[in-house]
Amino acid sequence: MSRYFRKKYDPIYSNKVVNMLVNRILKHGKKSLAYQILYRAMKQIQQKTEKNPLYVLRKAVCKATPQIAVKSRRERGSTRRLIPIEIKKKQGKALSVRWLLEASRKRSGLNMAFKLSSELVDVTKNRGGALRQKEEIRKMAEANRTLAHFR
């Protein structure tokens, strides 16, 4: 296999979801800092829950992954309609990672590692900002279910 087609994983957990999270945490090209933040968060998850932090991360991403979203479409002038669309697994996972990081950045706390670990633990316990966002999107899609034929 060529070196160009090798999948890139993180050095400790060798997991694709961890790599996605690190790449989304990344600010100003400092990947080593993003790894430090994530590994500190994983250590805090280990201390809080006494479970495998990789399991908690996977469960949080899985719970925050949406199956349906709304897409804005302009019709006749300035009228905008929100049309519900189904989401593929890969796109849903990317959305959930983005929502988890947005919700953790909005939290109050000392540092990003603490906020991220708190958000991941909260999502596994069925609360948190990312789940709230998922529910809002689902409610909008349900409200606009009659427009599904416009896809």
Q: Where are the domains of the chain?
A: 10-150
One of 1.10.10.10, 3.40.50.1820, 3.40.50.720, 1.10.455.10 is the CATH number of 10-150, namely: 1.10.455.10
In tens, the pLDDT along 57-111 reads 999 999 999 999 988 887 777 777 888 889 999 999 999 999 999 999 999 888 9
Query: What does the pLDDT read at residue 27?
Result: 81
Query: What does the pLDDT read at residue 11?
Result: 84
Listed in sequence order, the residues at least 6 apart from 60 whose beta carbon sits closer than 8 Å to its beta carbon are 100, 119, 120, 121, 123, 124, 130
Q: Tell me the C-alpha distance between 128 and 97, whole Å.
A: 13
The answer to whether the CB of 76 falls within 8 A of the CB of 151 is no
> What are 2's two structure tokens?
């060529």
Residue 1 predicted with pLDDT over 60: no
Q: Tell me the C-alpha distance between 26 and 117, whole Å.
A: 16
The answer to pTM > 0.75 is: yes
Query: What does the pLDDT read at residue 47?
Result: 95
Least confident of 16-20, 23-27, 77-81, 113-117: 77-81
- pLDDT band for 3, please (50, 70, 90 cuts): low
